[in-house]
A and B are shown apart, each in its own frame.
Chain A
Amino acid sequence: MKPGGATVQRLAAFAAVLCGWTLLSWALHSPRLELFPTPWQVAIRMAELARTELGGDIVASIAEAFGGWVIGAVLGILVGALIGRVTLARLLLRPVIDFLRFISPLAWVPLAILWFGIGYWSKASIIVLISFFTVVVNTAHGMSTIDADTAKAGRSLRLGWSQRLEVVLMSAMPDILVGLRYALGAAWGGVVLSELVAGDTGLGALEIYGGQSFDVAQIMVGMVVLAVLGYAANRGFMALQRRLFPWIVANWAP
């Protein structure tokens, strides 16, 4: 298919969504309580919120997601490398991670609130868990399945300690990147959910306040902004990966 055709189809799909949305909201319209606002009502609400709290909520959500993602990723790569390369670490840590992985990070939200109170860390800690468990599994997998010939070549070239580390890290990099990208997507889910429960700031809190006042347009603003941010984060990650590691083809699919 030529690229022009794809764009036309994409636009047609968007137009269909907007038309369907409008028709549904007309069909379900009730004069007393607006349960299904039209696209332009949501756009107007977004413009109103942009003048008051939307900016602050976006900043709060991004700070939680990004901070938690970075901390979890660093921890995940370190522990994953240990599990992948050191037998003792594998013996001790792998069963523990196997068990904890079954308790979804999202089930930790109430405990995080008890431990950290309602604030930045009660949400960021959930993202740390999400990011850590995803990255640790992928890193351990990548580090333990290094090509035997690569390892042999490294030995015969008498590489130094730091160079050997680089070889190991770079051959595990495709797996690590897959984990990092997945964690980035999952982090948005974690941010919304923990803000729904421990809501003081952020887009999840925006939605909860909207729900409490039956302001469906405000909830939809939150949903749209979250989707756009998630999309932008995904695109940004792919662009960065292509720039930094142009030889890695994993992850290129949207």
Chain B
Amino acid sequence: MSGRLLRFLPTSGSAASAALGLGMLLAIWWAATVLLQLRPVILPDPVAVWRELVGMAQSGTLLVDVATSLWELLWGFLVGSTLGVLSGFALARHPRLRGFLEPLVETFRFVVPFSLVPLVVVWFGVSLVGKIFVVAYACYFVVTINTAAAVQGIDPLVLKAARMLGTGGWRLLLQVVLPAALPRILTGLQLALAYAWVSVIAAEYVGSSAGLGYLITNAQSGLETAKVIAGMIVIGVLGCAFSVAVAALRRVLVPYAAEAGW
């Protein structure tokens, strides 16, 4: 019987599974607030959170916060992942550069991105530049390491064959190296997008005047628990949407690479 039930279960890690989980959580949450008679400041019931969400959406403040966070995410991710892909290729293709860059990457990898937040607040204030700095830093290393591993991991026979057939220079890079390395590079970018989203929220906790991270810390200091949870749900839903979008993009770009759930 377990086998029959399992067939109805959505694939692990998928958006459908997450939606099912949301439904189950809502049921538990609602039951908990009704049965335990919790005070709204500790745990408001789902209806109160929904009202808060609708209220914020109608007044337009939610849109401003979401737009601010997305804008920071876009710039930070673009800067960090572009630099990451470039230095990943450089690391993999030039042994001399690798000897110099690798220790640097290995050292700075341990400097926690969030520990930069107070620094950028002093340097750049609450401006966009500070957020881009933190988010790009958070993306950079995972993209660099995965890109370098992807390019180094290409079967040398493939490269030899391509050269023997007269391919070289840019053609070799675009038509042989890039398609072979793309699945792993995309894995790096996928992880980087998740890190970037987290660090957008983190950077907004300290020193900002709009954005989803600001929304939830501000609501917390006003003891508005319903607003905090509403903000968390928006963060989760957007994170889920990014993940779905990247998975779809991956299927389009590299249909030849296998994918795995958990």
Contact = CB atoms under 8 A, between A and B. Distances in A.
Interface residues of B, number: 64
A103 to B, nearest CB: 4
Given A1-B99, A35-B122, A87-B6, A192 B21 contact: no
B225 A114 contact: yes
Residue of A104, A197, A214 with most partner-chain B CB within 10 A: A104
A35 B14 CA distance: 46
A69 to B, nearest CB: 15
Interface string B93-121: 00000011111101100111111111101
Given A111-B228, A192-B114, A226-B112, A96 B25 contact: yes
Contacts, number: 181
B5 A103 contact: no
Interface stretch (B153-161, B172-180, B214-222): B214-222
B262 interface: yes
A17 B115 contact: no
Contacts of B9: 90-91, 94-95
Contact of A188 (B17, B112, B197): B112
Contacts of A99: 17-22, 25, 236
Contact of A13 (B19, B42, B100): B100
Nearest to B240: A102
A96 B42 contact: no
Contact of B216 (A95, A107, A203): A107
A210 interface: yes
Contact of B18 (A98, A140, A192): A98
B100 A16 contact: yes
Interface of A: 1, 5-6, 9-10, 12-14, 16-17, 35, 87-88, 90-92, 94-104, 106-111, 113-115, 137-138, 140-141, 188-189, 192-193, 196-197, 203-204, 207-208, 210-211, 214, 216, 219-220, 222-223, 226-228, 230-231, 234, 254
